[in-house]
Structure 1
Amino acid sequence: MKRILSVFFFLSILLVSAQTKIEGVVLDEFGDPISFANIIFKDSSEGTITNDNGRFYFESDNTYKAIIVSFIGYETKEIPLPQKVNYGLEIVLAESAEELKEVVVYTGKQSKKNNPAIDILRKIWAKKRQNGVRMFKQYQYDKYEKIEFDLNTIDSALIKSKLFKGLEFMFEDLDTSRITGKTYLPIFLNETFSKVYGDNVIDKEKEDVLGNKNSGFSGNQAIAAFVEDLYSDYDIYDNYLKFFDKSFTSPLSKTGVDVYNYVLSDSTFIDNKWCYNIIYYPRRKNELTFKGDFWVNDTTFAIKKINMQVTKSANINWVKEIYIEQEFDVVSDSVFLLKRDYMLSDFSFSKKEESRGVYGKRTTVFDNYVFDTNRSQEFYKAVSDPYDPRVFAQDSVFWKNARLENLNSDESGIFKLLDTLKTVPKFRTYYDIVSILGSGYVEIDKWNIDIGDIYSTFGYNDAEGIRLRGGARTYFGQNDTWRLEGYMAYGFDDRKFKHGFSGKFLLDRKNRLILSGGNRRDIEQLGLSLTSTNDVMGRSIASSSLVTVGSNNRLTNINLSTFNVEMEPVKNLRISVGSSFRTLSSALPDAFSLDYVDPTSPNGISSEIKQFDLNTTVVYTPGKRTIGYGVERVNVNDDYSTLVLNYTKGVSGFLESDFDYEKIQFSYRQPWQIGGLGRLTSSVELGKTFGAVPLGLLSVIPGNQTLFSLYNVFPNLDFYEFVTDTYATVHLEHNFNGRLFSRIPFLRKFNLREIVGLRGAWGQLSDENIALSAPTNIPLSAPTDQIYWEYSFGVGNIFKILRIDFNFRGNYLDNPDARPFGITGTFGFNF
């Protein structure tokens, strides 16, 4: 949420030279707009189609004297272009009086039967795995990518506004997008050149980045990670294309016939290859679909050209336009290889035509293909270092040869513009505000210290009452090899100071060998996670919740010290070995007891637990992508699985530690993109404790007495309602992303999203552990006789930011103060 908010705010405060530009509208004889009409420059294959309102805008680097306008069932019309720039064209097409030869005319909703376009589509499906680099045993090619952000919809009111007073020089050079017809100002550019190698026999691929050049805000890794996740690679032949964490149905998908109308529109020679032109558009509104057209060869049934534009009714937030173009080159008469991929996204808080926003544009050019050069598996295992300083220090000669597509004058001007902006105090102020909102920290550059986290400044709970917290961390740069961090807090009811401090040191960058340690003395709401906290800086949301359900008085005083050694010998496989010493006692002993039977105590009961533990943890996150190489990295994506295996050995006697026990825990979390049906998140957790331990060291089934929707907890359970020494839990949550609501007419326009959840827990608690604990106010029980379960129904995307969940308890309704029903919610900026 912070990342999306900061990127929007940051970019919003901030010349492709074309020879021919056209803009206008296509109407029928009754003045009604004609959607999806073809607009093509005469004697070329360059063109576009009209949008839902019959409007179009297009430009070309070449000079043309006329355009050809056509649509099924209407007479084709040639329109002369008297000037290089022709705006305000109003083109009226007359209904055709003649039957088209060899083409069946379709209008409106198309039939799935006897449709020649769908016959062609079936042949594309049959041969899609035989096209491109898949046809060869091995392949390699050069890849040049540039990603650009532009401030758009710039008018005189914006330029003269107080926001940009003193920054007017930014707007000296403006141009117009060939896709949307809006003026824009480039403000960010990133270039990457790499060589890609692949082997279809052993199913291996690697990409060696040889050059990376940034202009704009390249130092901000949050923005860099956002950009990298935003423009992940895709294959138009796949059934579903993932953008903005959502699956769009590809127009070439085998399920496309259920969501698209297809029309065979035209056929002609392109690069000496006979191709069919097929127009497609959605069957229904609000679904994650495209509109556009593609050209396909008549023998290989490989795509020659395709354009895809997301419909404005699609259920996606903060994005007004998505436009994609791909072009393929013909090699050796029958091989179609991707030559150029272009994607434009128009980010805006509103989908109104006049609203301002930010363009995100990615252009990727592919060239110098080489095939069937065999390389060993060791070659593919030897991954290059994308953060090698030499990658970022390539000279102008390198980039002159590496750019497979030259920068135009405006793109080249971004470097000069940003160098100038960084010297303007007003712009620096804007930058600092955005950095604070995005990271939560206030930078004090001269001391190399950040003050924060500002989002943790204020809190409240039953033990402390009103709580204030202030902290700081060292910060020399985003790739620091070491970092120190600390905080102080004060509760106005208990009148006690709390603190936490930690240090992390990266000793070996290649294997990511990290030493870390720290101490924390604070009040915490335990029981929100099955794994005991070893984080000396973090704090659960339940520990400072302003509004709770029921009595939230089961808080714990914790004094925790940790030391840990971590390494990553293989990418995404982390192994850590460490130790911790914790002291636990009730923060509200009159309401909540952590007492246990202790024969060595004068009264036979102890109220404080002292425990020294040795920990070994293995974390595997296949598919996880990160950015940066310092002691702390920024995650790029969130669609990876996470497997955790944790072993804890409690040692009695050392440092007056009280208990000798062993605990083994395993968890597996996996997000699943279920085609066009949305996203399922699943998790499984298993654990067992060997040996007798008191309540403070047992595994509590995570309850939730806050009003926030939290994944991996049970919202209808109170804290400590179920306590176990052996447990198994399952959580399933599926977000349909509006797939169902879009089929209901009166709900369709609200772009709501439906979420369903199902969760269950089973556990055991031995008689020995029940006898050891001596709480006077909490009955210790586990869901042994039957699996405890809950289910929920949620509605998301309310006003684009709010989600509300209705949670139901399935059983154990006879438990004291059991909550059969509850409502939770959350706020967030999600696409």
Structure 2
Amino acid sequence: MKRFLTVFFFLTFFSLFSQTKVGGIVLDESGSPIAFANIFFKNSTDGTITNDNGRFYLESENTYSTLLVSFIGFETMELELPQKVNYGLEIVLKESTEQLKEVVIYTGKQSKKNNPAIDILKKIWAKKRENGVRKFKQYQYDKYEKIEFDLNTIDSALIKSKLFKGLEFMFDNLDTSRVTGKTYLPFFLNESFSRVYGDNQLEEEKEDVQGNKNSGFEGNQSITAFVEDLYSDYDIYDNYLKFFDKSFTSPLSKTGVDTYNYVLSDSAYIDNKWCYNIIYYPRRKNELTFKGDFWVNDTTYAIKNINMQVTRSANINWVKEIYIEQDFEVVNDSVFLLKRDYMLSDFSFSKKEKSRGVYGKRTTVYDNYAFDLKRPEEFYKAESDPYDPRVFSRDSVFWNNARLESLSDDESGIFKLLDTLKTVPKFRTYYDIVSILGSGYIEIDKWNIDIGDIYSTFGFNDAEGARIRGGARTYFGQNDTWRLEGYMAYGFSDKKFKHGLSGKFLLDRKTRLILSGGNRRDIEQLGLSLTSTSDVLGRSIASSSLVTVGANDRLTNINLSTLNLEMEPLKNFRIRLGSSFRTLSSALPTAFSLDYIDPESPTGTSSEVKQLDLNTTLIYTPGKRTIGYGVERSNINDDHSTLVLNYTKGIQGFLESDFDYERLQFSYQQPWQVGGFGRLTTSLELGKTFGEVPLSLLSVIPGNQTLFSLYNTFPNLDFYEFVTDTYATLHLEHNFNGRLFSRIPLLRKLNLREIVGLRGAWGQLSDENIALSAPTNIPLVAPEDQIYWEYSFGVGNIFKILRIDFNFRGNYLDNPNARPFGITGTFGFNF
């Protein structure tokens, strides 16, 4: 789409004072685009390569008058630049008549044998652990990070559209991307400055945040958490690089020779070091790979600089471009240290060239390295407080000294622009709509209350029929030290009101001592989890699903009250002491009985259980990262393991509690990034109940009669089909992220993703517990004779939002109403 002419001339005029910019396309003599051609400013190392369609964009803060364009098999072209800004260039390369003497290069797939580029790559592998800060016992450095979001592909149609009527002043701060050549408007900027300390002998690292400055959506914790997760740290020497929860094969990976083509393209002095230039590009389409080039030193085999661009065909959603640059500083003859890291992501609903989107850019600059300054181990154990109010209130003098890279005029203007936008009602309306869709809550700033969540408003089940629910929570800010939340619900068939109320209070921020409690009186689908529900605000999908498989009538009336005290004495290690009192009875007694033998009852049986439990829970989540310091924090990453040990003591007699028992449970969940083969999620759970308890207090193997794919449940089991007092379950689910489908020509372009699952459960149920619950009208069976198991095959990324799983039952096919096959699905926006 053509850019707005006025904006184009404005950018051209403005750039005359500071930058050289070029953009266009490189073709061969037949008019076909040349992909991966080298584009450089003459007498510089500022360069890029053409994309799959032969297009390029390049800019530099310096002034250059000549452009060099080259590609193996073609004559190098020197193109004079008549002005500092040259767009729309059409460059035609002629085939070379000279044969290269040193290196024989083939078009298309490159040979793995007798390829000098691969010989150099092998030496990089051998030396990679000897480069950078790993060479020293201890290290420290300053780190300045700048994260920015921009609205891109701005043209006259967008500026004049009704969407931005009254907001035209926003476009006074337009700039042009040096990577894509597109016009963009900055609207979010976050700066941080840290000092990083590390000890390779102790294998410890500590980051001390000195300052943090935010413009834009500083009040929205979910956006901030998304940004933090999006731009996690990475090391180009690793075999696989994780971006957007996906594992990309690094061009420096030991498996790279099977994934990339490598070409030794050039050699030159860079900072007085002789370096080789190697171009790389994927061997196959639709895989999670990059294209680009890197310069590597001829003696240390350390990377001097590298650029990586994700190919358009890569199986990733909502991201049109990912571009990465890293520059390394030569400290002495043998030490190359990371100096600057730049990453640009172009988020868009479409990968078409003219589609609009949002740039996400991170620039990290490293400086003031120092080495071999030994510090005691206690220094690394003592964590600094990244939420110290002083960190967020640094003055301009601090930032002038802390910025290792100055802000551009456009970046500096973001702060003023956002301050102005917040006063414009139309912009506030847009922001509110996006916030509601993202969080599910409607903000009422006047009362510091949020209404919601809106996604729980409607439901249906056999006991209540159609049901509606409305709720609210207090919200003064993302770091509230206390929060109250509640809801009311009404069922149109049983004509009863239900409610839930919860309160959380942060008593001590350092140890994260939290007091919480609440009450819920509602209808619940128990048996979706092996642990007893303690969520006073929970609403089971199964108990309010619009469509279910089979009879969904095994529902329970629950009146639950809880009181808990939680603390985090060590990072990612929580201790929770709690108590709960619950009253349980069947919501549909004729279809699902919870009766049990009760000698003290006049009838000899009782249909209601009153139970007081005391709980002690230990939760360990190594590697988990969070943001915020209030009573509720947001998770940044999901690649950490979770270990839970829970002990429950049932108290008899007090508050008319019915049963005395003990329960011990352990669970371990771990996601694994299996190189370039996708992501494996494993979940193991063990448990045993000591003492006699009725059906409502036993451990039910989680079935799933909904049409939703729910992890940690068994989609071919009905609710309460297996009941245990001793159990072990294992869930395995692997998402190949399209690696297999990308090898099939007919499926390659669909960017589908294959998921396989395997699930198993074993359990026992004592004769005493069976006898205690004998009045129930459902069979009490445990998978003791053989392990119950299921397997599934799934296809994900259908239309980018849909996943469908085909689930197969492995055994126990003779059980009443056993379902040998089922289909479940789920919607979601995943990269």
Query: TM > 0.5 between the two?
Result: yes
Structure 2 residue 358 is the aligned partner of structure 1 residue 358: yes
* Alpha-carbon offset, residue 436 of structure 1: 1.3
| Further displaced range: 80-89 or 697-706 | 80-89
**Matched residue, 2:538:** 538
Q: Tell me, in whole angstroms, the C-alpha distance in 1 between the residues paired with 2:180 and 2:476.
A: 42
**Matched residue, 1:556:** 556
Q: Give the partner amino acid of 2:316.
A: I
Q: Tell me, in whole angstroms, the C-alpha distance in 2 between the residues paired with 1:770 and 1:269.
A: 81
Q: Deviations over 1:406-443 (max 9, x none)?
A: 00100000000000000101111111112211111111
* Alpha-carbon offset, residue 334 of structure 1: 1.7
Q: Give the partner amino acid of 1:179.
A: V
Structure 2 residue 398 is the aligned partner of structure 1 residue 398: yes
Q: How does 1:287-686 map to 2 (within 5 A)?
A: 287-686=287-686
* Alpha-carbon offset, residue 573 of structure 1: 0.6
Q: Determine helix, strand or coil for the equivalent of 2:450.
A: strand
Q: How does 1:128-277 map to 2 (within 5 A)?
A: 128-277=128-277
Is the 2:173–2:413 contact (alpha carbons within 8 Å) kept by the matching residues of 1? no
Is the 2:725–2:764 contact (alpha carbons within 8 Å) kept by the matching residues of 1? yes
Q: Tell me, in whole angstroms, the C-alpha distance in 1 between the residues paired with 2:142 and 2:819.
A: 61
Q: Tell me, in whole angstroms, the C-alpha distance in 2 between the residues paired with 1:127 and 1:160.
A: 56
**Matched residue, 1:70:** 70
| Further displaced range: 48-57 or 282-291 | 48-57
* Alpha-carbon offset, residue 445 of structure 1: 1.4
* Alpha-carbon offset, residue 776 of structure 1: 3.9
Q: Determine helix, strand or coil for the equivalent of 2:618.
A: strand
Q: Tell me, in whole angstroms, the C-alpha distance in 1 between the residues paired with 2:488 and 2:67.
A: 69
Is the 1:18–1:59 contact (alpha carbons within 8 Å) kept by the matching residues of 2? no
Q: Give the partner amino acid of 2:249.
A: T
Q: Tell me, in whole angstroms, the C-alpha distance in 2 between the residues paired with 1:792 and 1:149.
A: 40
Is the 1:806–1:822 contact (alpha carbons within 8 Å) kept by the matching residues of 2? yes
Q: Tell me, in whole angstroms, the C-alpha distance in 2 between the residues paired with 1:394 and 1:506.
A: 26
Q: Tell me, in whole angstroms, the C-alpha distance in 2 between the residues paired with 1:170 and 1:516.
A: 45
* Alpha-carbon offset, residue 450 of structure 1: 1.2
| Further displaced range: 734-743 or 325-334 | 325-334
**Matched residue, 1:768:** 768
**Matched residue, 2:687:** 687
Q: Tell me, in whole angstroms, the C-alpha distance in 2 between the residues paired with 1:337 and 1:435.
A: 41
Q: Give the partner amino acid of 2:240.
A: Y
* Alpha-carbon offset, residue 18 of structure 1: 4.9
Q: Tell me, in whole angstroms, the C-alpha distance in 2 between the residues paired with 1:95 and 1:622.
A: 57
Is the 1:470–1:488 contact (alpha carbons within 8 Å) kept by the matching residues of 2? yes
Q: Tell me, in whole angstroms, the C-alpha distance in 1 between the residues paired with 2:418 and 2:713.
A: 46
* Alpha-carbon offset, residue 543 of structure 1: 1.1
Is the 1:611–1:650 contact (alpha carbons within 8 Å) kept by the matching residues of 2? yes
Q: Determine helix, strand or coil for the equivalent of 1:316.
A: coil
* Alpha-carbon offset, residue 471 of structure 1: 1.1
Q: Tell me, in whole angstroms, the C-alpha distance in 2 between the residues paired with 1:787 and 1:673.
A: 28
**Matched residue, 1:725:** 725
Is the 1:548–1:707 contact (alpha carbons within 8 Å) kept by the matching residues of 2? yes
Is the 1:554–1:592 contact (alpha carbons within 8 Å) kept by the matching residues of 2? yes
Is the 1:268–1:274 contact (alpha carbons within 8 Å) kept by the matching residues of 2? yes
Q: Give the partner amino acid of 1:795.
A: V
**Matched residue, 1:823:** 823
Q: Give the partner amino acid of 1:262.
A: Y
Runs of 4+ deviating beyond 3 Å: 15-18
Q: Give the partner amino acid of 1:324.
A: I
Q: Give the partner amino acid of 1:215.
A: S
**Normalized against structure 1, the TM-score is what?**
0.98
Q: Determine helix, strand or coil for the equivalent of 2:391.
A: helix
Is the 1:594–1:774 contact (alpha carbons within 8 Å) kept by the matching residues of 2? no
Q: Tell me, in whole angstroms, the C-alpha distance in 2 between the residues paired with 1:92 and 1:436.
A: 51
After superposition, the Cα gap between the structure-2 partners of 1:690 and 1:64, relative to the gap in structure 1 and judged at 3 Å, is same
* Alpha-carbon offset, residue 84 of structure 1: 0.5
| Further displaced range: 168-177 or 416-425 | 168-177
Q: Tell me, in whole angstroms, the C-alpha distance in 2 between the residues paired with 1:196 and 1:630.
A: 25
**Matched residue, 2:114:** 114
Q: Give the partner amino acid of 2:537.
A: M
* Alpha-carbon offset, residue 101 of structure 1: 2.9
Q: Deviations over 1:665-721 (max 9, x none)?
A: 000000000000000000000000000000000000000000000000000000000
* Alpha-carbon offset, residue 99 of structure 1: 1.8
* Alpha-carbon offset, residue 106 of structure 1: 2.5
Q: Give the partner amino acid of 1:603.
A: T
**Matched residue, 1:57:** 57
Paired residue total: 817
**Matched residue, 1:21:** 21
Is the 1:39–1:69 contact (alpha carbons within 8 Å) kept by the matching residues of 2? yes
Is the 2:813–2:819 contact (alpha carbons within 8 Å) kept by the matching residues of 1? yes
Is the 1:459–1:467 contact (alpha carbons within 8 Å) kept by the matching residues of 2? yes
Q: Tell me, in whole angstroms, the C-alpha distance in 2 between the residues paired with 1:707 and 1:417.
A: 47
Structure 2, unmatched stretches of 5+, are 1-13
Q: Tell me, in whole angstroms, the C-alpha distance in 2 between the residues paired with 1:776 and 1:448.
A: 48
Q: Tell me, in whole angstroms, the C-alpha distance in 1 between the residues paired with 2:98 and 2:156.
A: 50
Is the 1:647–1:665 contact (alpha carbons within 8 Å) kept by the matching residues of 2? yes
**Matched residue, 2:786:** 786
Q: Deviations over 1:248-304 (max 9, x none)?
A: 000000000001000000001111100000000000000000000000000000000
**Matched residue, 2:7:** none
Q: Percent identity at matched positions? A: 86
Q: Tell me, in whole angstroms, the C-alpha distance in 1 between the residues paired with 2:775 and 2:206.
A: 58
* Alpha-carbon offset, residue 312 of structure 1: 0.2
| Further displaced range: 452-461 or 806-815 | 452-461
Q: Deviations over 1:91-134 (max 9, x none)?
A: 11111111223222232100111100000000000000000000
Q: Give the partner amino acid of 1:826.
A: T
Is the 2:594–2:776 contact (alpha carbons within 8 Å) kept by the matching residues of 1? no
* Alpha-carbon offset, residue 775 of structure 1: 3.7
After superposition, the Cα gap between the structure-2 partners of 1:749 and 1:775, relative to the gap in structure 1 and judged at 3 Å, is farther
Q: Tell me, in whole angstroms, the C-alpha distance in 1 between the residues paired with 2:528 and 2:248.
A: 35
Is the 2:596–2:776 contact (alpha carbons within 8 Å) kept by the matching residues of 1? no
Q: Determine helix, strand or coil for the equivalent of 1:520.
A: strand
Q: Tell me, in whole angstroms, the C-alpha distance in 2 between the residues paired with 1:450 and 1:272.
A: 61
Q: Deviations over 1:198-220 (max 9, x none)?
A: 00011000100000000111111
* Alpha-carbon offset, residue 648 of structure 1: 0.3
Is the 2:67–2:80 contact (alpha carbons within 8 Å) kept by the matching residues of 1? yes
Is the 2:599–2:605 contact (alpha carbons within 8 Å) kept by the matching residues of 1? yes
Structure 2 residue 803 is the aligned partner of structure 1 residue 803: yes
Is the 2:290–2:310 contact (alpha carbons within 8 Å) kept by the matching residues of 1? yes
* Alpha-carbon offset, residue 87 of structure 1: 1.3
Q: Give the partner amino acid of 1:430.
A: Y
* Alpha-carbon offset, residue 538 of structure 1: 1.1
* Alpha-carbon offset, residue 149 of structure 1: 0.3
Q: Tell me, in whole angstroms, the C-alpha distance in 2 between the residues paired with 1:536 and 1:795.
A: 35
**Matched residue, 2:5:** none
Q: Determine helix, strand or coil for the equivalent of 1:32.
A: coil
Q: Deviations over 1:310-362 (max 9, x none)?
A: 00000000000000000001012221000000000000000011100000000
Q: Determine helix, strand or coil for the equivalent of 1:446.
A: coil
Q: Tell me, in whole angstroms, the C-alpha distance in 1 between the residues paired with 2:251 and 2:775.
A: 63
Q: Tell me, in whole angstroms, the C-alpha distance in 2 between the residues paired with 1:425 and 1:75.
A: 58
Q: Tell me, in whole angstroms, the C-alpha distance in 2 between the residues paired with 1:337 and 1:723.
A: 59
Is the 1:670–1:683 contact (alpha carbons within 8 Å) kept by the matching residues of 2? yes
| Further displaced range: 508-517 or 428-437 | 428-437
| Further displaced range: 577-586 or 466-475 | 466-475
Q: Tell me, in whole angstroms, the C-alpha distance in 1 between the residues paired with 2:356 and 2:90.
A: 26
Is the 1:649–1:662 contact (alpha carbons within 8 Å) kept by the matching residues of 2? yes
Structure 2 residue 759 is the aligned partner of structure 1 residue 759: yes
